[in-house]
């Protein structure tokens, strides 16, 4: 422990990268307070308070949506675009060939991802502006439009400003990845979530301690804190858990000095993000309809696709199961593992090379994915159930996607810091 800390404080390059990363995160945080020009913020604030999905999205973006900031969408269009490109690479042969083209192929995929992200950002920004004024006379700040002039030029201008904000987020993400520590996109999402934690803590403390009406509410507060800490421990355990497959090399006298690590949760947070994204599309459409408590298209879309309701909860869990298996086998391909072992003149003890190896890895991956899927379902269901039991708003999340992202990014960033420190130590030998 002390040796690693010493490596950190004596590594000038590591300290410089960490300082640069913190500086860029500070720039990202300051840009959240840059408002969308001419936009009536009060309309957006009231719409968020009546839309559970946008409450969660607001927490993910560090309250940028509530601030009516140019970073209202943050890095989310880029994340969605990267998912779209990954899906397209599975079904379009020309895009699939990019994976085998090395750096040039990755550059093409990255370029395509950015183009899609810009288009998505403009479309989502325009929908956000129109949707926030669905039940109001105008989203433009009072006094701007006169004599019944059309507001569409202003709508497009505001959408372009939101798109520019997303482009800035993509640039910050890329420059952190290249010159800083950690994955830029993941760190921006984590920064947004972490900055929302104090407001969650203050709300929970006020509800159960300051404004309590009965003694047992103190007990509720302690239980929520313990559940939160227990969730962190559980997520950390599953993030670092893996099943190692021993590998023997024929040209090394059969010695097993290598293995293939299969993570218990190889799909990571992606199934939960996929499920949430699909569920959010109908809820976004529902926001355009007049609110009603018992009828109308908006009411039925909310009943079916809101995971706080029974039908929506079941659909949400089923989507996590489907995407968990889909993404696990996409990330860890038994065919590629078998092929790579054959090329390296290696084999798994007791398993014949070729088809038998592929089947063995596939069966093992299936069993591991079952465990990982139940774990993801539990973590995703936990905040929904806790909010129901303790009567908390959707903006208060104990567990769930946010915790998976924060813990996962923290572990990956710490591992990269250790790796950078060791790199400097090895370079010092020469």
Residue 184 near residue 175, CB atoms below 8 Å: yes
Looking up tokens 């500070």, which residue turns up? 26
End-to-end CA separation in angstroms for the chain = 25
Contacts of 114 (CB under 8 A, 6+ apart): 78, 81, 170
Looking up tokens 């993000």, which residue turns up? 273
Residue 348 near residue 392, CB atoms below 8 Å: no
Tell me, what DSSP letter sits at residue 210? Answer: I
Residue 271 near residue 325, CB atoms below 8 Å: no
* 430 residues of the chain, pLDDT tens digit each: 566 666 666 677 888 888 999 999 999 999 999 988 888 777 666 666 555 566 667 767 777 888 888 998 888 888 888 888 887 887 888 877 887 777 888 888 889 999 999 999 999 888 878 777 655 556 776 666 666 666 778 888 889 999 999 999 999 999 999 998 888 888 888 888 888 788 888 888 888 888 888 888 889 889 988 988 888 888 889 888 888 888 888 766 555 568 888 888 888 877 887 787 777 777 766 666 555 556 667 677 777 877 878 888 899 899 999 989 988 888 888 888 888 888 888 888 888 888 899 999 999 999 999 999 999 999 888 888 888 888 887 667 666 778 888 888 888 888 888 777 666 555 554 4
C-alpha distances out from residue 82 to 87, 106, 182, 231, 400, Å: 9, 12, 18, 28, 22
Q: What is the dihedral of CA 151, 156, 162, 166, to 10 degrees?
A: 170
Residue 340 is encoded by which pair of tokens?
């790579």
Looking up tokens 């989310």, which residue turns up? 76
> How far is the C-alpha of 430 from the C-alpha of 427, rounded, in Å?
6
How big is the CA angle at 366 (ends 273 and 86), to the nearest 5 degrees? 40
248: part of which helix (H) or strand (E)?
A: strand 242-249
Tell me, what DSSP letter sits at residue 151? Answer: S
Residue 147 is encoded by which pair of tokens?
């004599």
Tell me, what DSSP letter sits at residue 249? Answer: E
- In this predicted structure, what is the pLDDT of residue 430? 45
Rounded to two decimals, the pTM is 0.81
Q: Which residues pair with 244 in a beta bridge?
A: 261
Residue 307 is encoded by which pair of tokens?
């995971």
CA 411 and chain centroid, separation: 15
> How far is the C-alpha of 204 from the C-alpha of 222, rounded, in Å?
11
Contacts of 233-236 with C-beta under 8 Å, sequence gap 24+, read: 234/375, 234/379, 235/379, 235/399, 235/403, 235/404, 235/407, 235/408, 236/407, 236/411
Residue 319 near residue 335, CB atoms below 8 Å: no
> How far is the C-alpha of 403 from the C-alpha of 411, rounded, in Å?
12
């Amino acid at each position: 422990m002390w040796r690693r800390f010493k490596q950190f404080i004596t590594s000038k390059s590591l300290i410089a990268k960490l300082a640069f990363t913190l500086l860029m995160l500070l720039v990202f945080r300051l840009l959240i307070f840059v408002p969308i020009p001419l936009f009536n913020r009060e309309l957006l604030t009231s719409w968020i308070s009546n839309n559970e999905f946008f409450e969660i999205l607001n927490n993910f973006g560090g309250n940028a949506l509530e601030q009516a900031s140019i970073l209202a969408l943050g890095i989310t269009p880029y994340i969605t675009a990267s998912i779209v490109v990954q899906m397209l690479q599975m079904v379009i042969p020309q895009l699939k060939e990019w994976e085998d083209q090395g750096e040039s192929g990755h550059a093409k995929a990255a370029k395509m991802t950015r183009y899609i992200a810009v288009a998505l950002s403009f479309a989502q920004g325009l929908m956000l502006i129109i949707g926030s004024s669905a039940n109001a006379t105008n989203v433009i700040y009072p006094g701007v439009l006169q004599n019944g002039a059309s507001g569409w030029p202003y709508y497009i201008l505001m959408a372009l400003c939101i798109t520019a904000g997303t482009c800035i987020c993509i640039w910050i993400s890329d420059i952190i990845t290249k010159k800083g520590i950690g994955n830029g996109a993941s760190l921006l999402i984590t920064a947004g979530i972490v900055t929302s934690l104090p407001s969650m803590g203050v709300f929970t403390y006020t509800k159960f301690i300051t404004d309590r009406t009965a003694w047992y509410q103190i007990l509720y507060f302690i239980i929520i804190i313990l559940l939160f800490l227990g969730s962190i421990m559980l997520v950390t355990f599953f993030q670092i858990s893996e099943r190692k497959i021993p590998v023997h090399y024929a040209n090394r006298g059969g010695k097993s000095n290598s293995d293939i690590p299969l993570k218990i949760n190889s799909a990571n947070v992606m199934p939960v993000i996929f499920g949430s994204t699909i569920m959010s599309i109908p809820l976004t459409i529902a926001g355009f309809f007049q609110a009603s408590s018992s009828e109308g298209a908006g009411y039925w879309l909310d009943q079916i696709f809101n995971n706080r309701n029974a039908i929506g909860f079941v659909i949400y869990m089923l989507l996590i199961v489907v995407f968990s298996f889909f993404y696990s086998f996409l990330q860890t391909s038994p065919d590629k593992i078998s092929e790579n072992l054959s090329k390296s003149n290696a084999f798994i003890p007791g398993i014949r090379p070729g088809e038998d190896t592929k089947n063995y890895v596939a069966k093992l991956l299936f069993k591991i994915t079952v465990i990982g899927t139940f774990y993801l379902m539990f973590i995703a269901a936990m905040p929904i159930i806790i909010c129901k039991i303790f009567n908390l708003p959707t903006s208060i999340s104990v567990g769930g996607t946010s915790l998976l992202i924060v813990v996962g990014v923290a572990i990956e960033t710490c591992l990269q810091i250790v790796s950078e420190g060791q790199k400097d130590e090895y370079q010092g030998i020469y």
